[in-house]
């Protein structure tokens, strides 16, 4: 170990939070083996040998969107070829397919539709819960919520309360992208601002609704921008404690207008997981979202601080396949458990709040 590595090792061992400068140093100078060892120290202190997965499915109610984020391959304008808008009956039909399958969570994220407000989405949740009463509904990014609330002339608090009344259980972490204004201006200038994203999550946490946080990395941002992004999350977490999980999302280039910047390497992905684990000391879980990163990198990420591989998912998500990711549409629980065990960890099926699930017999 170099003297600086030894100093950082001791700091992490003594559970002293890293500074922004130290996180930046790790991005710039961190050797892969050192990052792996240090991130593993933290990850095993938090979760021992457990590595989590869940049984979930996705609903993307529409890809019609009022915004035009430069990195997005998914959105379409009304009437444009390739657009879809499911009716509530079609959503019910999707939910019906999961009856009796043992799924514990539905993840609902879509485009920001020009016409639909809180009442519509509350009705969507109610109908899903009528079919799957036990399901945990993790739904709507802060970007979608901002517009839904505005359309229904509700404050964030009022909108979130109405959705919770209908059965909303938690918020996914999307829409965060990169918080720094220099980057946000270039990749998603018009949607919810950094302050709005943080305020919606703060309001959710105050209401007892937990949430996740993402960071879209590997495009035009610098390491400084990533550290700034994580600093804002760490500060909000210190205030509310409401984030369950951090999910770095690797920028994928197919079919969107940022394609010319390319994609970062697997080594960069692994470094990014490790630095996230080390800097975000107060967010308990770090997720490698395999549909985005690919199954093999997700498996390797378990040696770089990751403790959660998300879920079985299914082929109902198009957001990543449209951006060029060649991952299978779904993974069986056997496959997820095998991937985890092969990496040296114990596979634990979790619910959406990371409580282990014991099943009497295989479902």
Q: How far is CA 13 from CA 6, 9, 39, 237, in A?
A: 10, 6, 11, 21
Strand, coil or helix: 153: coil
For 353, counting Cβ atoms within 10 Å of its Cβ (0-12 exposed, 13-18 middle, 19+ buried), the class is exposed
Q: Does 323 bind ligand V47 (CB under 6 A)?
A: yes
Work out the number of other CB atoms within 10 angstroms of the CB of residue 326: 8
β-pair type (285-286, 243-250): parallel
Span from 144-152, 159-167, 170-178, 350-358 in contact with ligand V47 (CB under 6 A): 170-178
> Residue 107 has which token pair?
């993840």
- Nearest Cα residue to 113 out of 79, 85, 81: 85
Tell me the C-alpha distance between 152 and 149, whole Å: 5
Return the C-alpha torsion angle 355, 49, 325, 323, nearest 10: 50
141 or 312: CB nearest ligand V47: 141
**Of 12, 139, 143, 322, which lies in the binding site for ligand SF4, with binding defined by CB under 6 A?**
143
DSSP run (H or E) holding 57: strand 56-59
Interface residue with ligand V47 among 73, 203, 272, 333 (CB under 6 A) is 73
C-beta closer to ligand SF4: residue 111 or 242: 111
Nearer to ligand V47, 30 or 111 (CB): 111
| Crossing angle (nearest 10°) for helices 20-29 and 266-279 | 160
CB of 256 to ligand SF4, least distance (A): 9
Select from ligand V47, ligand SF4, none the partner in contact with residue 173, using the beta carbon and a kind-dependent cut-off of 5 to 8 Å. ligand V47
Figure out which of the listed residues 8, 23, 26, 72 binds ligand SF4, where binding follows CB under 6 A: 72
Interacting residues with ligand V47 between 222 and 281 (CB under 6 A): 247, 249, 251-252, 256
Query: x/- site string to ligand SF4, residues 108 to 127, per CB under 6 A?
Result: ---xx---------------
Query: Whose Cβ is closer to ligand SF4: residue 46's or residue 66's?
Result: 66
In the DSSP assignment, the letter for residue 220 is: S
Interface pick for ligand SF4 out of 67, 84, 120, 223 (rule CB under 6 A): 67
Crossing angle (nearest 10°) for helices 156-166 and 194-206: 50
Residue with tokens 């514990």: 104
How far is 334 from 331, CA to CA, in rounded Å?
8
86 binds ligand SF4 (CB under 6 A): no
CB of 235 to ligand V47, least distance (A): 20
Residues 152-191 that bind ligand SF4 (CB under 6 A): 188, 191
Residues within the interface to ligand V47 (CB under 6 A): 71-73, 109, 141, 172-175, 177, 212, 214, 216, 247, 249, 251-252, 256, 289, 292, 319, 323
Which parts of this chain interact with ligand SF4 (CB under 6 A)?
Answer: 65, 67-69, 72, 74-75, 111-112, 143, 188, 191
């Amino acid at each position: 170990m170099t003297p600086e590595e030894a100093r950082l090792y001791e700091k992490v061992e003594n559970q002293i939070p890293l500074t922004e400068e130290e996180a930046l140093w790790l991005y710039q100078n961190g050797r892969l083996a050192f990052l792996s060892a240090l991130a593993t120290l933290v990850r095993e202190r938090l979760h021992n040998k457990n590595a989590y997965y869940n049984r979930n499915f996705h609903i993307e109610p529409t890809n019609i969107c009022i915004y035009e984020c430069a990195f997005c391959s998914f959105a379409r304008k009304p009437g444009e070829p390739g657009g879809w808008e499911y009716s509530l009956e079609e959503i019910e039909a999707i939910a019906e397919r999961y009856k009796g399958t043992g799924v514990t969570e539905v993840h609902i994220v879509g485009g920001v539709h020009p016409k639909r407000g809180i009442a519509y989405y509350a009705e969507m949740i109610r109908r899903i819960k009528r079919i799957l009463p036990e399901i945990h509904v993790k739904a709507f990014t802060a970007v979608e919520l901002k517009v839904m609330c505005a359309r229904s002339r509700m404050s964030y608090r009022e909108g979130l309360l109405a959705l919770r009344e209908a059965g909303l259980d938690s918020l996914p972490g999307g829409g965060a992208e990169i918080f720094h204004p220099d980057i946000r201006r270039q990749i998603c200038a018009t949607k919810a601002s950094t302050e709005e994203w943080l305020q919606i999550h703060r309001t959710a946490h105050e209401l007892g609704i937990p949430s996740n946080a993402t960071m879209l990395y590997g495009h035009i941002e610098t390491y400084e921008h990533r550290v700034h992004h994580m600093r804002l999350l760490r500060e909000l977490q210190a205030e509310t404690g409401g984030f369950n999980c951090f999910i770095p999302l690797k920028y994928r280039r197919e079919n969107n207008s940022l394609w010319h910047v390319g994609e970062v390497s697997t080594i960069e992905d692994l470094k990014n997981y490790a630095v996230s684990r080390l800097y975000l000391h107060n967010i308990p879980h770090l997720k490698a979202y395999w549909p985005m990163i690919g199954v093999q990198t997700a498996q390797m990420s378990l040696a770089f601080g990751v403790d959660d591989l998300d879920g079985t998912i299914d082929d109902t998500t198009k957001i990543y396949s449209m951006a060029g990711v060649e991952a299978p549409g779904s993974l069986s629980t056997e496959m997820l458990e095998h991937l985890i065990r092969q990496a040296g960890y114990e596979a634990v099926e979790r619910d959406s709040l990371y409580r282990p699930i014991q099943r009497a017999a295989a479902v």
